[in-house]
Amino acid sequence: MSSRVESAFIDHRSEWRDLKSEPLVLPSVSIPTAVRVSANLKTSYPIVVGPVDRLTECVAREDLPRRHAVVVSDENVWSIYGERIWKLGRDTWGRVTSVVLEPGEGMKSIEKLSHLHDRAFDEGIDRDTTVVAFGGGVIGDLAGFAAATLLRGLPLVHVPTSLIAQVDSSIGGKTGINHPAGKNLIGSFYAPRLVVTDPGFLQTLPDREFGSGLAEVVKHALIADEALAVWMLDNWTSILERDSDVLHIMLERAIRVKIDVVEKDVLEHGQRAFLNFGHTFGHAIEKVAGYGAFTHGEAVSVGMRAAVHLSARRAPEADFEIARALVSRLPVLPDPATLDTDALIDAMKVDKKARAGTVRFVVLDVVGRARVIDDVEVDALRAAIDYAKTA
Ligand SMILES: NC(=O)c1ccc[n+]([C@@H]2O[C@H](COP(=O)([O-])OP(=O)(O)OC[C@H]3O[C@@H](n4cnc5c(N)ncnc54)[C@H](O)[C@@H]3O)[C@@H](O)[C@H]2O)c1
Ligand SMILES: [Zn+2]
């Protein structure tokens, strides 16, 4: 592993093209450990997959200010890694302020944002203060938005610790908080200057959170990386056992899918919609079951079962066996069979991603290639949901 970790930053543009033009055999050590991604039309930033101890070197290499860091985390993560990150922060920035919040979605609130602002000013921040988001997607979204809003934008470094944060929320620059009117309704696109993703953090992630993150990895494979899908199926047991080499490879591949999609559609006008595969169903499941009953990832897992069924109905000649096998293996704790099909169909009409009265679904043409459709008949929806409830 160490020789791969040494690899220098690589300009993503040429590298990504090269990777796609050659057939890829997994597992492969030819995948670089660091890639750069366009964060918006002007910026790019490295995503480094490797031990978090590389933070100091990466910050220096990126020529980021090294005077003061405000590290935002949650109690779960900080109780395990706080001491180590504190020391690393001191080595990297000299001065560290830690702000440790309670865990959970409730932290993505205007009150907690305001609390972060207050703490930051109490600590005498200036334009050279770096905000470090050290935790899962909740911390990433909240601390990212705080960084975007403090002094009209402070340097932001993501150190994601959950699987969802590592393959999804730390990439693409979406930050924000919730509003009583809905989730993620207040926020901005704000790019980090650096992302350091350490697969080692996944060893302490609770099983249910790990399973939820796997749903997004499977999603990435199904919409854009058939080789990853096949490889995941072959390595399923090692993935669940959290074999560190296997996780490293899986993360790099899944991250690359997200980078590719985001690069093509930074501001979410088109292709980024593919990332909603399984999500039209998934959002309906979260709502109908009552928020919190299914984790987001579990709802998306069941949603992807429905989406695969829908895909097979529209492309009967295509082979979806790999997709079916993967989505049915994803762990889902609550029993989807108890969900009411009609209630789900009703809920989908008001899905926030729906456009002008038409419900949009992402389907697969084949494993690894997605498409958005908006002409799904209710019969097909019903059949897809019924399949998903027992698959
Ligand atoms: N910005 C985006 O593009 C984007 C994309 C996807 C999701 N999100 C957001 O991300 C959030 C969900 O992210 P999440 O699932 O990471 O939630 P989370 O941040 O609540 O983390 C899940 C749980 O795991 C714990 N945890 C995290 N890392 C750990 C570790 N290494 N060891 C032990 N425990 C650990 C956390 O304390 C928490 O209890 C949602 O708010 C969602 O809206 C944002
Ligand atoms: Zn999702």
Q: Is 108 in the pocket of ligand 1 (CB under 6 A)?
A: yes
Nearest ligand, measured from the Cα of 143? 1
SS3 134: strand
Per-residue pLDDT of the chain (391 residues; tens, 9 = 90+): 332 322 223 333 333 333 333 433 444 333 333 455 554 445 678 899 999 999 999 999 999 999 999 999 999 999 999 999 999 999 999 999 999 999 999 999 999 999 999 999 999 999 999 999 999 999 999 999 999 999 999 999 999 999 999 999 999 899 999 999 989 999 999 999 999 999 999 999 999 999 999 999 999 999 999 999 999 999 999 999 999 999 999 999 999 898 888 877 666 667 788 999 999 999 999 999 999 999 999 999 999 999 999 999 999 999 999 999 999 999 999 999 999 999 999 998 744 454 434 788 999 999 999 999 988 888 899 999 999 999 8
Q: Which residues are paired to 156 by β-bridges?
A: 131
Token pair belonging to 320: 């979806």
Closest ligand 1 atom to 212 CA: 15
Residue 58's pLDDT is 93
Residue 37's pLDDT is 54
- Which residues are within 8 A (CB) of 283 and not within 5 positions of it... i.e. 6 or more apart? 299, 303, 347, 348, 351, 352, 353
Pairing of strands 156-160, 194-197: parallel
SS3 74: strand
Closest ligand 1 atom to 176 CA: 1
Q: Is 76 in the pocket of ligand 1 (CB under 6 A)?
A: yes
Q: Is 216 in the pocket of ligand 1 (CB under 6 A)?
A: no
Query: Backbone phi, then psi, for 8, in 5-degree steps?
Result: -75, 165
- Residue 269: CB atoms within 10 Å: 9
Whether cis (ω within 30° of 0) applies to the bond prior to 192 is: no
Residue type, 94: G
Nearest ligand, measured from the Cα of 216? 2
Look up tokens 């099983």; give the residue: 207
* CA gap 266, 237 in Å, rounded: 35
Q: Is 177 in the pocket of ligand 1 (CB under 6 A)?
A: no
- Intra-chain end-to-end CA distance of the chain, in Å: 37
* CA gap 9, 25 in Å, rounded: 22
* CA gap 340, 59 in Å, rounded: 51
Residue 265's pLDDT is 67
285 C-alpha vs ligand 2 centroid, how far in Å?
13
Pairing of strands 68-74, 174-179: unpaired
Look up tokens 């998934």; give the residue: 282
Which residue puts its alpha carbon closest to atom 34 of ligand 1? 205
Q: Is 192 in the pocket of ligand 1 (CB under 6 A)?
A: no
297 C-alpha vs ligand 2 centroid, how far in Å?
6
* CA gap 366, 152 in Å, rounded: 44
Q: Is 173 in the pocket of ligand 1 (CB under 6 A)?
A: no
Q: Is 138 in the pocket of ligand 1 (CB under 6 A)?
A: yes
* CA gap 360, 276 in Å, rounded: 10
Mapping DSSP onto H, E and C, the string for 225-258 reads: CHHHHHHHHHCHHHHHCCCHHHHHHHHHHHHHHH
Q: Is 201 in the pocket of ligand 1 (CB under 6 A)?
A: yes
- Residue 350: CB atoms within 10 Å: 11
